[in-house]
Structure 1
Amino acid sequence: MTSLIDRDSGYMANALRQNFFRAGHAHAGVITLLSLICQPFVDATRLSPAWRWFVRIGVPVSGTLISAGFFFSILSPAATEPNRAISLIYIGALGLAFCVVSLGIGLLRAR
């Protein structure tokens, strides 16, 4: 944390790091709101209890994975490109898409 506060550390001098920090925080906020919005809709679905649990937990976990991918892929202060942790973004995005589509199917079945 002190490297973020100290302007002389150069930690935030990297444009890639600034963009990834911004993207990580933005995705965390938006997907947190999405997960809160999805919670009451899960109760209205005609999904089995296991699927309801999967969708209810999957949306916020996916958001955590996406944000973690942005943050962990640029841990080194000398990073000029993301490391292999960027794959967490893709894993989280696939999980998020799967959960949201499952929620939509469950809502359509409840009609």
Structure 2
Amino acid sequence: MSTAGVLLITVPTVAFGGVSLLRFLMRNVPGYLDNPVRRGLWRAGHAHAGVLVLFALVAMLYVDQAALPEGVKALVRTLMVAAPILMPLGFFLSVARPRDTRPSGLIWLAVAGGACLAVGTLTLGIGLVV
């Protein structure tokens, strides 16, 4: 299965997440609307998921054009797919319980996703410039 195919399969899950957040707002679900930390992190998680999936899809178009060894290309693909998974997971899971008012240690997943994004895009950029 191609990496782009996997990314495309995730798009409906991002859309479902958006519908879920909308439902929380419309139904005034306890632990969401009344919890600004949870609401903010979940909105950030949803936004990052959507943007990073699209960004990764665009980046996949350039990986084969980069002057990089095949193993490095595979690494770039993996890093670009990891970012839209890890970063939102960190936002969502760090405040998974409705009463959480501070992010747990799982917020570091967002940092790991950011690191994957940085390394993947930097490596791809270098491969395209060289």
TM over 0.5: yes
* Alignment of 1:35 onto 2:56: yes
Give 1:6 deviation, angstroms. 5.5
Moved more, 81-90 or 56-65: 56-65
Name the CA distance, whole Å, in 1 between partners of 2:60 and 2:97: 36
- Matched with 2:30 is 10
Code of the residue aligned with 1:11 in structure 2: it is: G
Name the CA distance, whole Å, in 1 between partners of 2:27 and 2:52: 30
Deviations 1:19-51 (A, max 9, x none): 111100000011001101101110111111111
Code of the residue aligned with 1:101 in structure 2: it is: L
State the identity %.
34
**Is there any run of 5+ residues in structure 1 with no aligned partner, and where?**
none
* Greater Rg by CA: 1
Give 1:60 deviation, angstroms. 1.7
Give 1:77 deviation, angstroms. 1.2
Q: Map residues 67-78 of structure 1 onto 2, 5 A cutoff.
A: 67-78=88-99
Deviations 1:33-82 (A, max 9, x none): 11011011101111111111111121121121000000000011111110
CA RMSD of the aligned region, Å?
1.7
Higher RCO structure (Cα 8 Å, ≥6 apart): 1
Name the CA distance, whole Å, in 2 between partners of 1:11 and 1:78: 6
- Which of 95, 98, 104 is the aligned partner of 1:83? 104
TM-score using structure 2 length: 0.76
- Matched with 2:16 is none
* Alignment of 1:100 onto 2:102: no
TM-score using structure 1 length: 0.89
